[in-house]
Structure 1
C-alpha cells in the first residue's frame, strides 16, 4: 500500500515538459511517465482520463464521453508519435507504421467548419461535430500538431530528457535537456555521486 501511495504522490507532481504547452502532441507523447520506482504511470489510463485530457487541450467538448475504443485510438496515436519523435531525435529511419498511422489520422476527418443554423445567430460556421466524429477530429488535430513539430523550426530543439529513468521529451532551451527541475536535480545528484565514487576508488 505504501508503495502505491509513493507512486501516486510522484504522479501528482508531473509537470508539463518545456514545449508541451505549445505542442499538445508533445504533451500527449509525455502522458506515459516512467517513475524512479521503476513503475510507469499512464495519465490517460481510462476513457474518462483520456476525455478530460482532450477537453483540457480544447480538442473535445468538456461534456464529451469517450469509450474504451476511443481511448485505445488515442493511446495508439500516442505510441506512433513517440516513435516518430524518437526517430527524429536519434536520426533513424521513421517507422512506416507510425507514418501511416499519422497520415491516416490527418486524413480521417474533414477540416472545414460545418455550416449550421439556429434562430439566434442564423447561418454560421461551427466546429461542433457529431459525437461519432469528436475523436476523429481530435486525432486529426493532434496528428497535424505532431507533423508541425517534427518538420518545423522547433524540430531541431526536440530532445529526450537526460535524467534516467525519465522517458519524456522536451524542446531544449539553451543547454537545458531536462524535462523538469526534479529531473535536473536528479541528474546533477547522479553526476556528483559518480564523481565521488571515482575519486574514492584507489
Structure 2
C-alpha cells in the first residue's frame, strides 16, 4: 500500500499535479529517504487516488519504473528553472514524448447499429500513457507559468514548492528546522 507521506503537501501541490508528483521522492534528515512511488502497489495507489487509473489498476514494475523515470526528468526541469540552468535535452524529450503519445481529440468511431460517434481510445497501455501525459501537461503548465517555483531551502529537503510571499520552505517542519539551526548558530557565535 501507499506509504504515508512524512510531510504535508508543499505549497502549490494542490494546483499542480506535477509538483505533487515531483515531491514523491523525499529526502529527510538523518539520511532517510522516502519514495512514495517505491513499489508497483504504491504507484497504483497514487494513480488511483488522483483518478489517473481505474480502481482495479494493477501496475507492474515496468510501468512503475517509467513513472519514476518521468519523475526524475520533471525534477531535472524544475531544478533547471529554479537555478536558471539549461534544461537537459533528455528531460525535455521525455516530457514532450509523454505529451504526444495521447491523442487530445476524441477519435471518430462507427457502430454498425447506431452510426458514427466520437470516443477516446483506451487500450490497457493507454492508462499509463494517459497518466504520463496528464502529469507532463501539468509540468509544462507549471514551467511556463508565472508561478514562483522554488526549491525548499531546508537541508536536506529536496522538495519543490510555489513560493507565496516570503515563505521559502515546503512545510512548517522544514521552516522550524532552519530557524532552529539559525538560532543555534547565533548562540554558538556569541559564545
Structure 1 pair 142/12, CA: closer, same or farther in 2 (3 Å)?
closer
Structure 1 pair 123/95, CA: closer, same or farther in 2 (3 Å)?
same
Query: Which residue number corresponds to residue 146 of structure 1?
Result: 139
The Cα shift of 1:143 comes to 0.7
Structure 1 pair 100/38, CA: closer, same or farther in 2 (3 Å)?
same
The Cα shift of 1:63 comes to 1.7
Give the TM-score of the pair, scaled to structure 1. 0.85
Residue 79 in structure 1 maps to residue 63 in structure 2: no
Tell me the secondary structure at the aligned position of residue 30 of structure 2.
coil
Deviates more, 1:109-118 or 1:19-28: 109-118
Matches within 5 A, 1:1-202: 12-113=5-106, 129-154=122-147, 157-200=148-191
Higher relative contact order (CA 8 A, sep 6+): 2
Instruction: Spell out, residue by residue over 1:105-131, the C-alpha distance to the aligned partner (whole angstroms, 9 max, x if none).
Output: 11112122456799xxx9876557222
Deviates more, 1:126-135 or 1:88-97: 126-135
Unaligned runs of 5+ in 2: none
Structure 1 pair 20/126, CA: closer, same or farther in 2 (3 Å)?
farther
Counterparts of 1:144 and 1:106, CA distance in 2: 7
Tell me the secondary structure at the aligned position of residue 170 of structure 1.
strand
| Structure 2 contact 5–36 (Cα < 8 Å) conserved | no
Unaligned runs of 5+ in 1: 1-7
RMSD value over aligned CA atoms? 2.1
| Structure 2 contact 10–170 (Cα < 8 Å) conserved | yes
The Cα shift of 1:37 comes to 1.7
Instruction: Spell out, residue by residue over 1:99-155, the C-alpha distance to the aligned partner (whole angstroms, 9 max, x if none).
Output: 11111111112122456799xxx987655722221001110111111001000121x
Counterparts of 2:101 and 2:30, CA distance in 1: 39
Structure 1 pair 109/12, CA: closer, same or farther in 2 (3 Å)?
closer
**Superposition misfits of 4+ residues, deviation over 6 angstroms:** 115-118
